[in-house]
A and B are shown apart, each in its own frame.
Chain A
Amino acid sequence: MHLFTKTADELATMLRNKEVTSVELIEAYFERIEAVDDKVKAYISLDKEGALEKAEEIDAKLEKGEELSRLAGIPIGIKDNICTKGLKTTCASRMLEDFIPPYSATVVEKLEDAGAIIIGKLNMDEFAMGGSTENSYFFPSHNPWDLERGPGGSSGGSAAAVAAGESVFSIGTDTGGSIRQPASSCNLVGLKPSKGLVSNYGVVSYASSFDQTSPITKDVKDMALVLNAITGHDPKDSTSINMEYPDYTKALTEDVKGLRIALPKEYFGEGFNQEVKEAVLASTKKLEDMGAVVEEISMPLIKHSLPAYYIIACAEASSNLARLDGVAYGHRAKDYTDVESLYSNSRGEGFGAEVKRRIILGTFVLSAANYDSYYKKALETAKLIKEEHNKVLEDYDVIIAPTMPTTALKIGQKQEDPVKDYLNDICTINANIAGVPAMSLPCGFDKDGLPIGMQLIAGEFKEETILRVAYTLEQATDFKDQRPKL
Protein backbone atom coordinates (compact mmCIF):
# COMPACT_ATOMS: atom_id res chain seq x y z
CA MET A 1 0.00 0.00 0.00
CA HIS A 2 1.08 3.55 -0.57
CA LEU A 3 2.79 5.58 2.10
CA PHE A 4 0.01 8.11 1.90
CA THR A 5 -2.55 5.62 3.15
CA LYS A 6 -0.66 4.76 6.34
CA THR A 7 -1.29 5.88 9.90
CA ALA A 8 1.31 7.64 12.02
CA ASP A 9 1.82 4.53 14.10
CA GLU A 10 2.45 2.39 11.02
CA LEU A 11 4.88 4.93 9.60
CA ALA A 12 6.68 5.18 12.93
CA THR A 13 7.32 1.43 12.77
CA MET A 14 8.48 1.69 9.18
CA LEU A 15 10.88 4.49 10.04
CA ARG A 16 12.41 2.46 12.83
CA ASN A 17 12.60 -0.63 10.62
CA LYS A 18 14.44 1.51 8.09
CA GLU A 19 11.78 0.71 5.50
CA VAL A 20 11.55 4.41 4.80
CA THR A 21 13.27 7.63 5.81
CA SER A 22 11.56 10.80 6.91
CA VAL A 23 12.85 12.60 3.84
CA GLU A 24 11.26 9.93 1.66
CA LEU A 25 8.03 10.35 3.58
CA ILE A 26 8.01 14.07 2.97
CA GLU A 27 8.73 13.53 -0.73
CA ALA A 28 5.95 10.97 -0.95
CA TYR A 29 3.44 13.28 0.70
CA PHE A 30 4.38 16.21 -1.49
CA GLU A 31 4.04 13.94 -4.51
CA ARG A 32 0.58 13.02 -3.35
CA ILE A 33 -0.30 16.65 -2.78
CA GLU A 34 0.83 17.47 -6.28
CA ALA A 35 -1.27 14.63 -7.63
CA VAL A 36 -4.54 15.39 -5.89
CA ASP A 37 -4.65 18.77 -4.21
CA ASP A 38 -5.83 20.71 -7.23
CA LYS A 39 -8.92 18.55 -6.92
CA VAL A 40 -9.20 18.39 -3.15
CA LYS A 41 -7.87 21.88 -2.41
CA ALA A 42 -7.07 21.11 1.19
CA TYR A 43 -3.99 23.32 1.46
CA ILE A 44 -3.72 27.10 1.56
CA SER A 45 0.07 27.11 1.82
CA LEU A 46 2.89 24.61 1.76
CA ASP A 47 6.44 24.60 3.07
CA LYS A 48 8.42 21.86 1.31
CA GLU A 49 11.82 23.37 2.02
CA GLY A 50 11.26 23.71 5.73
CA ALA A 51 9.76 20.25 5.90
CA LEU A 52 12.71 18.60 4.16
CA GLU A 53 15.13 20.40 6.44
CA LYS A 54 13.35 19.06 9.50
CA ALA A 55 13.10 15.61 7.95
CA GLU A 56 16.86 15.50 7.48
CA GLU A 57 17.34 16.36 11.14
CA ILE A 58 14.97 13.58 12.18
CA ASP A 59 16.67 11.06 9.90
CA ALA A 60 20.03 11.98 11.45
CA LYS A 61 18.61 11.35 14.91
CA LEU A 62 17.09 8.04 13.87
CA GLU A 63 20.44 7.02 12.39
CA LYS A 64 22.09 7.66 15.71
CA GLY A 65 19.52 5.43 17.34
CA GLU A 66 18.05 8.26 19.43
CA GLU A 67 14.75 7.43 21.05
CA LEU A 68 12.12 9.64 19.50
CA SER A 69 8.37 10.14 19.82
CA ARG A 70 6.17 7.98 17.57
CA LEU A 71 5.26 11.22 15.81
CA ALA A 72 8.83 12.05 14.78
CA GLY A 73 9.33 12.47 11.07
CA ILE A 74 5.58 12.35 10.36
CA PRO A 75 4.27 14.93 7.85
CA ILE A 76 1.21 16.86 9.02
CA GLY A 77 -0.89 19.85 8.11
CA ILE A 78 -2.21 22.46 10.54
CA LYS A 79 -5.49 24.35 10.25
CA ASP A 80 -4.76 27.87 9.14
CA ASN A 81 -6.14 29.52 12.27
CA ILE A 82 -3.30 28.10 14.34
CA CYS A 83 -0.18 30.27 14.39
CA THR A 84 2.97 28.85 12.90
CA LYS A 85 6.06 31.01 13.30
CA GLY A 86 7.39 32.17 9.97
CA LEU A 87 4.58 30.45 8.06
CA LYS A 88 1.65 32.46 6.79
CA THR A 89 -1.42 32.04 8.99
CA THR A 90 -4.45 33.42 7.21
CA CYS A 91 -7.55 32.00 8.96
CA ALA A 92 -8.73 31.70 5.33
CA SER A 93 -9.47 35.41 5.41
CA ARG A 94 -8.50 38.39 3.33
CA MET A 95 -7.94 40.15 6.63
CA LEU A 96 -4.90 38.00 7.35
CA GLU A 97 -3.95 36.88 3.88
CA ASP A 98 -0.35 38.03 4.29
CA PHE A 99 0.04 37.63 8.02
CA ILE A 100 3.19 35.83 9.13
CA PRO A 101 3.08 35.26 12.89
CA PRO A 102 6.32 35.89 14.81
CA TYR A 103 5.47 33.03 17.13
CA SER A 104 3.94 29.55 17.12
CA ALA A 105 0.94 28.20 18.98
CA THR A 106 1.79 25.96 21.90
CA VAL A 107 0.24 22.97 20.15
CA VAL A 108 2.56 23.57 17.20
CA GLU A 109 5.60 23.82 19.46
CA LYS A 110 4.63 20.61 21.20
CA LEU A 111 4.25 18.75 17.94
CA GLU A 112 7.54 20.10 16.66
CA ASP A 113 9.20 19.08 19.91
CA ALA A 114 7.89 15.59 19.27
CA GLY A 115 9.51 15.76 15.85
CA ALA A 116 6.36 15.94 13.75
CA ILE A 117 6.92 17.84 10.51
CA ILE A 118 4.56 20.58 9.47
CA ILE A 119 4.23 20.57 5.70
CA GLY A 120 1.52 23.19 5.24
CA LYS A 121 -1.53 25.12 6.42
CA LEU A 122 -4.99 23.82 5.84
CA ASN A 123 -8.12 25.40 4.44
CA MET A 124 -11.07 26.29 6.62
CA ASP A 125 -14.16 28.44 6.87
CA GLU A 126 -13.07 32.01 7.45
CA PHE A 127 -12.21 32.48 11.13
CA ALA A 128 -13.75 29.05 11.79
CA MET A 129 -17.23 30.35 11.07
CA GLY A 130 -19.12 27.88 8.99
CA GLY A 131 -19.83 24.20 8.43
CA SER A 132 -18.63 23.47 4.92
CA THR A 133 -15.36 25.29 4.24
CA GLU A 134 -17.24 27.24 1.58
CA ASN A 135 -16.73 30.39 3.61
CA SER A 136 -13.00 30.34 2.92
CA TYR A 137 -11.79 33.53 1.27
CA PHE A 138 -9.63 31.47 -1.06
CA PHE A 139 -11.61 28.48 -2.34
CA PRO A 140 -13.80 25.69 -1.02
CA SER A 141 -12.26 22.31 -0.23
CA HIS A 142 -13.59 19.09 -1.68
CA ASN A 143 -14.45 15.80 -0.09
CA PRO A 144 -12.07 13.06 -1.28
CA TRP A 145 -14.95 10.55 -1.04
CA ASP A 146 -16.94 12.57 -3.59
CA LEU A 147 -15.27 15.63 -5.05
CA GLU A 148 -18.61 17.28 -5.74
CA ARG A 149 -19.27 17.37 -2.03
CA GLY A 150 -17.72 19.39 0.71
CA PRO A 151 -15.61 17.86 3.47
CA GLY A 152 -17.61 19.62 6.16
CA GLY A 153 -16.34 22.57 8.17
CA SER A 154 -14.94 24.64 9.57
CA SER A 155 -11.88 22.30 9.66
CA GLY A 156 -12.67 21.03 6.16
CA GLY A 157 -9.14 21.24 4.84
CA SER A 158 -7.86 19.35 7.89
CA ALA A 159 -10.22 16.47 7.19
CA ALA A 160 -9.85 16.47 3.43
CA ALA A 161 -6.05 16.37 3.65
CA VAL A 162 -5.99 13.38 5.98
CA ALA A 163 -8.65 11.52 4.02
CA ALA A 164 -6.86 12.20 0.74
CA GLY A 165 -3.50 11.03 2.04
CA GLU A 166 -2.03 14.54 1.93
CA SER A 167 -1.36 14.59 5.67
CA VAL A 168 -0.90 11.71 8.07
CA PHE A 169 -3.05 13.41 10.66
CA SER A 170 -3.86 17.07 11.23
CA ILE A 171 -4.80 19.56 13.90
CA GLY A 172 -7.90 21.70 13.64
CA THR A 173 -10.28 23.44 16.01
CA ASP A 174 -13.79 22.68 17.17
CA THR A 175 -16.07 25.45 18.44
CA GLY A 176 -19.46 23.94 17.61
CA GLY A 177 -18.56 20.74 15.80
CA SER A 178 -15.86 22.00 13.46
CA ILE A 179 -13.62 18.95 13.79
CA ARG A 180 -16.25 16.30 14.41
CA GLN A 181 -18.45 17.16 11.49
CA PRO A 182 -15.59 17.10 8.94
CA ALA A 183 -14.34 13.85 10.52
CA SER A 184 -17.79 12.38 10.06
CA SER A 185 -17.94 13.58 6.45
CA CYS A 186 -14.56 12.07 5.63
CA ASN A 187 -14.46 8.75 7.50
CA LEU A 188 -11.97 9.96 10.09
CA VAL A 189 -11.61 10.11 13.85
CA GLY A 190 -12.07 13.63 15.19
CA LEU A 191 -11.86 14.47 18.88
CA LYS A 192 -12.92 17.67 20.57
CA PRO A 193 -11.11 17.37 23.92
CA SER A 194 -12.37 18.54 27.32
CA LYS A 195 -12.21 22.28 27.82
CA GLY A 196 -8.72 23.18 28.90
CA LEU A 197 -7.06 19.90 27.99
CA VAL A 198 -5.18 21.23 24.98
CA SER A 199 -3.66 24.70 24.98
CA ASN A 200 -5.40 27.38 22.94
CA TYR A 201 -2.42 29.73 23.04
CA GLY A 202 -1.66 30.81 19.50
CA VAL A 203 -4.98 29.59 18.17
CA VAL A 204 -6.90 32.52 16.75
CA SER A 205 -9.99 32.98 18.90
CA TYR A 206 -13.51 32.77 17.59
CA ALA A 207 -15.58 32.00 20.71
CA SER A 208 -13.30 31.74 23.73
CA SER A 209 -15.80 29.74 25.78
CA PHE A 210 -16.13 27.02 23.16
CA ASP A 211 -12.96 26.91 20.98
CA GLN A 212 -10.99 23.70 21.42
CA THR A 213 -7.82 22.72 19.58
CA SER A 214 -8.66 19.30 18.17
CA PRO A 215 -6.84 16.51 16.30
CA ILE A 216 -8.18 14.54 13.35
CA THR A 217 -6.66 11.15 12.61
CA LYS A 218 -7.16 8.01 10.56
CA ASP A 219 -7.69 5.79 13.58
CA VAL A 220 -8.02 5.74 17.33
CA LYS A 221 -4.44 4.65 18.00
CA ASP A 222 -3.10 7.70 16.19
CA MET A 223 -5.54 9.83 18.17
CA ALA A 224 -4.07 8.52 21.42
CA LEU A 225 -0.53 9.19 20.19
CA VAL A 226 -1.41 12.73 19.18
CA LEU A 227 -3.17 13.42 22.47
CA ASN A 228 -0.07 12.37 24.35
CA ALA A 229 1.92 14.90 22.37
CA ILE A 230 -0.43 17.86 22.51
CA THR A 231 -2.09 17.71 25.92
CA GLY A 232 -0.55 19.19 29.03
CA HIS A 233 -0.68 22.30 31.16
CA ASP A 234 0.34 25.47 29.34
CA PRO A 235 1.24 28.42 31.57
CA LYS A 236 0.60 30.75 28.62
CA ASP A 237 -3.09 29.79 28.51
CA SER A 238 -4.99 30.75 31.65
CA THR A 239 -7.75 28.25 30.85
CA SER A 240 -5.34 25.33 30.55
CA ILE A 241 -5.89 22.56 33.09
CA ASN A 242 -3.09 21.85 35.52
CA MET A 243 -3.39 18.17 36.41
CA GLU A 244 -1.70 14.81 35.95
CA TYR A 245 -2.11 13.93 32.30
CA PRO A 246 -2.36 10.19 31.56
CA ASP A 247 -0.71 8.16 28.85
CA TYR A 248 -3.67 7.96 26.50
CA THR A 249 -2.32 4.90 24.68
CA LYS A 250 -2.98 2.91 27.84
CA ALA A 251 -6.70 3.40 27.19
CA LEU A 252 -6.54 1.39 23.99
CA THR A 253 -8.07 -1.79 25.33
CA GLU A 254 -11.03 -3.71 24.04
CA ASP A 255 -13.35 -3.79 26.96
CA VAL A 256 -16.85 -2.43 27.22
CA LYS A 257 -18.33 -4.84 29.74
CA GLY A 258 -20.76 -3.00 31.91
CA LEU A 259 -20.32 0.20 29.94
CA ARG A 260 -23.39 2.35 30.50
CA ILE A 261 -24.55 3.99 27.28
CA ALA A 262 -27.18 6.70 27.05
CA LEU A 263 -29.09 7.39 23.83
CA PRO A 264 -30.85 10.76 24.13
CA LYS A 265 -33.98 10.55 22.06
CA GLU A 266 -33.46 14.13 20.95
CA TYR A 267 -30.66 12.80 18.74
CA PHE A 268 -32.64 10.03 17.12
CA GLY A 269 -35.92 11.56 16.12
CA GLU A 270 -37.37 13.26 13.08
CA GLY A 271 -34.99 14.83 10.64
CA PHE A 272 -32.16 12.32 10.84
CA ASN A 273 -31.46 10.34 7.68
CA GLN A 274 -32.55 6.76 8.10
CA GLU A 275 -29.18 5.39 7.03
CA VAL A 276 -27.41 7.60 9.55
CA LYS A 277 -29.64 6.44 12.37
CA GLU A 278 -29.22 2.82 11.37
CA ALA A 279 -25.44 3.01 11.17
CA VAL A 280 -25.16 4.64 14.57
CA LEU A 281 -27.57 2.20 16.15
CA ALA A 282 -25.78 -0.73 14.54
CA SER A 283 -22.50 0.27 16.16
CA THR A 284 -24.34 0.80 19.42
CA LYS A 285 -25.73 -2.72 19.09
CA LYS A 286 -22.21 -4.05 18.60
CA LEU A 287 -21.25 -2.48 21.91
CA GLU A 288 -24.28 -4.01 23.53
CA ASP A 289 -23.30 -7.39 22.18
CA MET A 290 -19.91 -6.94 23.78
CA GLY A 291 -21.39 -6.28 27.19
CA ALA A 292 -22.47 -2.66 27.24
CA VAL A 293 -25.82 -1.59 28.66
CA VAL A 294 -27.84 0.79 26.50
CA GLU A 295 -30.65 3.02 27.69
CA GLU A 296 -32.78 5.57 25.98
CA ILE A 297 -33.00 8.84 27.88
CA SER A 298 -34.17 12.35 27.31
CA MET A 299 -32.13 15.52 27.56
CA PRO A 300 -34.76 18.19 27.01
CA LEU A 301 -32.36 21.13 27.15
CA ILE A 302 -30.66 19.95 23.98
CA LYS A 303 -33.53 21.52 22.05
CA HIS A 304 -32.63 24.96 23.46
CA SER A 305 -28.91 24.75 22.92
CA LEU A 306 -28.83 26.55 19.59
CA PRO A 307 -29.99 29.99 20.80
CA ALA A 308 -27.65 29.81 23.76
CA TYR A 309 -24.73 28.69 21.61
CA TYR A 310 -25.28 31.18 18.86
CA ILE A 311 -25.74 34.17 21.14
CA ILE A 312 -22.61 33.39 23.15
CA ALA A 313 -20.49 32.51 20.13
CA CYS A 314 -21.42 35.65 18.21
CA ALA A 315 -20.94 37.84 21.27
CA GLU A 316 -17.46 36.52 21.95
CA ALA A 317 -16.54 36.61 18.27
CA SER A 318 -17.52 40.26 17.99
CA SER A 319 -15.00 41.08 20.71
CA ASN A 320 -12.29 38.62 19.69
CA LEU A 321 -12.23 39.97 16.16
CA ALA A 322 -11.98 43.60 17.25
CA ARG A 323 -8.20 43.37 17.22
CA LEU A 324 -8.33 42.79 13.46
CA ASP A 325 -8.42 46.42 12.50
CA GLY A 326 -5.66 47.05 9.99
CA VAL A 327 -3.54 48.96 12.50
CA ALA A 328 -0.69 46.73 13.67
CA TYR A 329 -1.09 43.90 11.17
CA GLY A 330 -3.56 42.52 8.67
CA HIS A 331 -5.39 44.00 5.75
CA ARG A 332 -5.49 47.77 5.49
CA ALA A 333 -7.81 49.36 2.97
CA LYS A 334 -6.33 51.69 0.36
CA ASP A 335 -9.10 54.25 0.69
CA TYR A 336 -9.69 56.03 3.95
CA THR A 337 -9.75 59.59 5.19
CA ASP A 338 -9.21 59.16 8.91
CA VAL A 339 -8.85 56.48 11.54
CA GLU A 340 -12.57 55.77 11.66
CA SER A 341 -12.78 55.02 7.98
CA LEU A 342 -9.52 53.11 8.14
CA TYR A 343 -11.14 50.75 10.61
CA SER A 344 -14.46 50.41 8.79
CA ASN A 345 -13.03 49.99 5.33
CA SER A 346 -10.24 47.62 6.33
CA ARG A 347 -12.62 45.44 8.30
CA GLY A 348 -15.38 45.75 5.73
CA GLU A 349 -13.02 44.61 2.99
CA GLY A 350 -11.07 42.14 5.09
CA PHE A 351 -13.98 40.10 6.43
CA GLY A 352 -16.38 37.92 4.46
CA ALA A 353 -20.15 38.13 4.87
CA GLU A 354 -20.50 35.33 7.41
CA VAL A 355 -17.90 36.88 9.68
CA LYS A 356 -19.52 40.27 9.40
CA ARG A 357 -22.89 38.77 10.15
CA ARG A 358 -21.68 37.23 13.38
CA ILE A 359 -19.89 40.40 14.44
CA ILE A 360 -23.09 42.41 13.93
CA LEU A 361 -25.16 39.87 15.83
CA GLY A 362 -22.58 39.70 18.61
CA THR A 363 -22.53 43.48 18.91
CA PHE A 364 -26.31 43.38 19.12
CA VAL A 365 -26.58 40.87 21.94
CA LEU A 366 -23.95 42.64 24.03
CA SER A 367 -25.50 46.10 23.69
CA ALA A 368 -26.43 47.62 27.01
CA ALA A 369 -30.15 47.29 26.34
CA ASN A 370 -29.88 43.64 25.31
CA TYR A 371 -27.22 42.25 27.60
CA ASP A 372 -29.54 40.81 30.23
CA SER A 373 -32.16 39.22 28.02
CA TYR A 374 -29.71 37.93 25.43
CA TYR A 375 -26.17 37.34 26.61
CA LYS A 376 -26.81 36.84 30.31
CA LYS A 377 -29.78 34.60 29.61
CA ALA A 378 -27.72 32.60 27.15
CA LEU A 379 -24.95 32.13 29.72
CA GLU A 380 -27.47 30.91 32.25
CA THR A 381 -28.99 28.51 29.74
CA ALA A 382 -25.53 27.24 28.85
CA LYS A 383 -24.83 26.55 32.49
CA LEU A 384 -28.10 24.64 32.77
CA ILE A 385 -27.12 22.57 29.73
CA LYS A 386 -23.75 21.87 31.31
CA GLU A 387 -25.43 20.77 34.50
CA GLU A 388 -27.76 18.48 32.56
CA HIS A 389 -24.79 16.88 30.83
CA ASN A 390 -22.86 16.47 34.06
CA LYS A 391 -25.84 14.77 35.65
CA VAL A 392 -26.31 12.36 32.74
CA LEU A 393 -22.60 11.64 32.55
CA GLU A 394 -22.57 10.71 36.22
CA ASP A 395 -25.17 8.04 35.60
CA TYR A 396 -23.77 6.94 32.23
CA ASP A 397 -20.29 6.47 30.84
CA VAL A 398 -21.00 7.70 27.34
CA ILE A 399 -23.70 9.41 25.39
CA ILE A 400 -24.00 8.16 21.83
CA ALA A 401 -25.40 10.27 19.04
CA PRO A 402 -24.98 10.77 15.33
CA THR A 403 -22.42 13.44 14.42
CA MET A 404 -24.65 14.84 11.65
CA PRO A 405 -28.23 14.19 10.59
CA THR A 406 -26.99 13.55 7.05
CA THR A 407 -23.84 12.74 5.15
CA ALA A 408 -21.71 15.28 3.27
CA LEU A 409 -23.62 17.88 1.29
CA LYS A 410 -22.85 18.91 -2.25
CA ILE A 411 -20.77 22.06 -2.59
CA GLY A 412 -22.99 25.04 -3.18
CA GLN A 413 -26.03 23.22 -1.90
CA LYS A 414 -27.42 24.90 1.14
CA GLN A 415 -29.28 22.74 3.60
CA GLU A 416 -32.81 23.60 2.49
CA ASP A 417 -34.52 21.63 5.18
CA PRO A 418 -34.56 23.88 8.25
CA VAL A 419 -34.96 20.91 10.57
CA LYS A 420 -31.86 19.21 9.18
CA ASP A 421 -30.01 22.51 9.26
CA TYR A 422 -30.89 22.97 12.88
CA LEU A 423 -30.11 19.38 13.82
CA ASN A 424 -26.75 19.70 12.14
CA ASP A 425 -25.84 22.27 14.75
CA ILE A 426 -27.41 20.78 17.84
CA CYS A 427 -25.77 17.41 17.33
CA THR A 428 -22.40 18.88 18.06
CA ILE A 429 -22.71 22.21 19.88
CA ASN A 430 -23.83 20.69 23.17
CA ALA A 431 -20.45 19.16 23.87
CA ASN A 432 -18.85 22.58 23.43
CA ILE A 433 -21.38 24.19 25.74
CA ALA A 434 -20.86 21.51 28.37
CA GLY A 435 -17.09 21.52 27.97
CA VAL A 436 -17.02 17.75 27.74
CA PRO A 437 -14.98 15.60 25.34
CA ALA A 438 -16.68 14.31 22.19
CA MET A 439 -15.35 12.16 19.41
CA SER A 440 -16.68 11.45 15.97
CA LEU A 441 -15.88 7.90 14.89
CA PRO A 442 -16.57 6.29 11.51
CA CYS A 443 -19.53 3.94 11.70
CA GLY A 444 -20.37 3.08 8.14
CA PHE A 445 -21.26 4.39 4.71
CA ASP A 446 -24.52 5.30 3.05
CA LYS A 447 -25.73 3.85 -0.21
CA ASP A 448 -23.75 6.47 -2.11
CA GLY A 449 -20.59 5.39 -0.37
CA LEU A 450 -20.48 8.51 1.76
CA PRO A 451 -19.07 8.16 5.28
CA ILE A 452 -21.29 8.25 8.35
CA GLY A 453 -20.00 9.32 11.73
CA MET A 454 -21.17 8.60 15.26
CA GLN A 455 -20.40 10.57 18.38
CA LEU A 456 -19.09 9.32 21.67
CA ILE A 457 -19.51 11.90 24.41
CA ALA A 458 -18.14 11.35 27.89
CA GLY A 459 -17.69 13.32 31.11
CA GLU A 460 -15.07 15.99 31.67
CA PHE A 461 -11.53 14.62 31.37
CA LYS A 462 -12.85 11.16 30.49
CA GLU A 463 -11.04 11.01 27.14
CA GLU A 464 -9.75 7.60 28.15
CA THR A 465 -13.29 6.22 28.29
CA ILE A 466 -13.97 7.52 24.80
CA LEU A 467 -10.71 6.08 23.49
CA ARG A 468 -11.47 2.70 25.00
CA VAL A 469 -14.99 2.50 23.55
CA ALA A 470 -13.84 3.84 20.19
CA TYR A 471 -10.92 1.42 20.01
CA THR A 472 -13.17 -1.49 20.88
CA LEU A 473 -15.65 -0.57 18.17
CA GLU A 474 -12.93 0.14 15.67
CA GLN A 475 -11.36 -3.25 16.17
CA ALA A 476 -14.74 -4.87 15.63
CA THR A 477 -15.23 -3.18 12.25
CA ASP A 478 -13.14 -2.32 9.22
CA PHE A 479 -14.25 1.27 8.64
CA LYS A 480 -10.87 2.70 9.52
CA ASP A 481 -9.20 0.74 6.75
CA GLN A 482 -11.33 2.26 4.00
CA ARG A 483 -9.72 4.88 1.76
CA PRO A 484 -11.41 7.02 -0.88
CA LYS A 485 -10.76 6.21 -4.48
CA LEU A 486 -8.89 9.33 -5.43
Chain B
Amino acid sequence: MGLNKKDVLKLAGLAHLSLTESEAEEFAKDLDKMVSFAEELQGLDTSSIDLEDRDTNVYNVLRKDEVKPSMAKEELLANAPEQKEGCFFVPQIVE
Protein backbone atom coordinates (compact mmCIF):
# COMPACT_ATOMS: atom_id res chain seq x y z
CA MET B 1 0.00 0.00 0.00
CA GLY B 2 0.94 3.64 -0.03
CA LEU B 3 2.21 4.07 3.51
CA ASN B 4 5.67 3.15 4.61
CA LYS B 5 8.39 3.62 7.19
CA LYS B 6 9.04 7.17 6.06
CA ASP B 7 5.46 8.13 6.82
CA VAL B 8 5.75 6.52 10.24
CA LEU B 9 8.91 8.47 10.99
CA LYS B 10 7.25 11.72 9.99
CA LEU B 11 4.42 11.01 12.40
CA ALA B 12 6.92 10.03 15.07
CA GLY B 13 8.51 13.43 14.60
CA LEU B 14 5.20 15.18 15.17
CA ALA B 15 4.54 13.03 18.22
CA HIS B 16 8.11 13.44 19.48
CA LEU B 17 8.54 9.73 19.80
CA SER B 18 11.79 7.95 19.02
CA LEU B 19 11.21 4.56 17.41
CA THR B 20 13.40 1.56 16.71
CA GLU B 21 13.81 0.44 13.10
CA SER B 22 11.59 -2.56 13.65
CA GLU B 23 8.92 -0.49 15.38
CA ALA B 24 8.87 1.91 12.44
CA GLU B 25 8.47 -0.96 9.99
CA GLU B 26 5.81 -2.66 12.07
CA PHE B 27 3.79 0.50 12.52
CA ALA B 28 3.74 1.04 8.77
CA LYS B 29 1.60 -2.09 8.55
CA ASP B 30 -0.69 -0.67 11.21
CA LEU B 31 -1.04 2.48 9.17
CA ASP B 32 -2.21 0.36 6.27
CA LYS B 33 -4.80 -1.20 8.55
CA MET B 34 -5.99 2.27 9.49
CA VAL B 35 -6.38 3.13 5.84
CA SER B 36 -8.58 0.08 5.33
CA PHE B 37 -10.59 1.07 8.41
CA ALA B 38 -11.23 4.46 6.89
CA GLU B 39 -12.26 2.83 3.65
CA GLU B 40 -14.70 0.64 5.50
CA LEU B 41 -16.24 3.68 7.17
CA GLN B 42 -16.46 5.56 3.91
CA GLY B 43 -18.98 2.97 2.85
CA LEU B 44 -21.33 4.01 5.65
CA ASP B 45 -23.92 6.69 5.16
CA THR B 46 -23.50 9.14 8.01
CA SER B 47 -25.21 12.06 6.30
CA SER B 48 -27.94 12.12 8.93
CA ILE B 49 -25.41 12.97 11.61
CA ASP B 50 -24.61 16.55 12.55
CA LEU B 51 -21.75 16.49 15.03
CA GLU B 52 -22.67 19.97 16.16
CA ASP B 53 -26.30 19.40 16.97
CA ARG B 54 -27.04 20.53 20.47
CA ASP B 55 -28.39 17.22 21.62
CA THR B 56 -26.40 16.84 24.77
CA ASN B 57 -27.51 16.24 28.31
CA VAL B 58 -24.42 17.76 29.86
CA TYR B 59 -23.53 21.33 28.95
CA ASN B 60 -22.69 24.67 30.57
CA VAL B 61 -20.54 22.95 33.17
CA LEU B 62 -19.10 26.09 34.72
CA ARG B 63 -17.20 26.92 37.86
CA LYS B 64 -17.44 30.01 40.05
CA ASP B 65 -14.52 32.43 39.69
CA GLU B 66 -13.33 31.98 43.29
CA VAL B 67 -9.67 31.48 44.16
CA LYS B 68 -8.79 28.27 45.95
CA PRO B 69 -5.33 27.56 47.43
CA SER B 70 -2.80 26.32 44.93
CA MET B 71 -0.55 23.35 45.48
CA ALA B 72 2.57 23.88 47.59
CA LYS B 73 5.63 24.43 45.45
CA GLU B 74 7.51 21.49 46.98
CA GLU B 75 4.66 19.12 46.20
CA LEU B 76 4.46 20.42 42.66
CA LEU B 77 8.19 19.92 42.06
CA ALA B 78 8.43 16.62 43.93
CA ASN B 79 8.29 14.49 40.78
CA ALA B 80 10.38 16.83 38.62
CA PRO B 81 13.22 15.00 36.84
CA GLU B 82 15.28 18.17 37.08
CA GLN B 83 14.68 21.46 38.81
CA LYS B 84 16.61 24.68 39.27
CA GLU B 85 15.83 27.75 41.37
CA GLY B 86 12.29 26.62 42.06
CA CYS B 87 11.55 25.95 38.40
CA PHE B 88 11.29 22.90 36.20
CA PHE B 89 14.45 22.70 34.15
CA VAL B 90 15.00 21.62 30.56
CA PRO B 91 18.00 21.87 28.21
CA GLN B 92 18.43 24.39 25.44
CA ILE B 93 15.55 24.90 23.09
CA VAL B 94 17.04 25.22 19.63
CA GLU B 95 15.71 28.57 18.46
Contact = CB atoms under 8 A, between A and B. Distances in A.
Q: Do A and B bind?
A: yes
Interface of A: 98-100, 102-103, 196, 235, 238-239, 241-242, 304, 306-308, 310-311, 318, 322, 325-332, 336-340, 342-345, 347-349, 351, 353, 356-357, 359-361, 363-365, 367, 370, 373-374, 376-381, 383-384
A376 B76 contact: no
Contacts of A325: 16
Nearest to A306: B37
A242 B18 CA distance: 43
A360 B79 contact: no
Contacts of A337: 91
Contacts of A381: 41, 44, 46
A339 B82 CA distance: 13
A239 B58 contact: yes
A377 B46 contact: yes
Given A238-B61, A329-B81, A361-B30, A342 B90 contact: yes
Contact of B78 (A100, A349, A376): A100
Interface of B: 7-8, 11-12, 14-19, 23, 26-27, 30-31, 34, 37-38, 40-42, 44, 46, 48-49, 51, 57-58, 61, 63, 71, 75-76, 78-82, 88, 90-94
Contact of B88 (A242, A328, A340, A377): A328
B91 A377 contact: no
Given A102-B71, A360-B15, A342 B91 contact: yes
Contacts of B26: 353, 357
18 contacts: A100-B79, A102-B71, A235-B63, A238-B58, A304-B40, A304-B41, A308-B41, A310-B34, A327-B81, A344-B16, A344-B18, A347-B16, A348-B19, A353-B23, A360-B19, A361-B30, A383-B49, A383-B51
Contacts of A345: 18
Contacts of A308: 41
Contacts of B42: 373, 377
Contact of A329 (B12, B49, B58, B80): B80
Given A239-B58, A336-B91, A337-B91, A318 B15 contact: yes
- The 3 A-B residue pairs whose C-beta atoms are closest, nearest first, are A348-B18, A307-B37, A332-B81
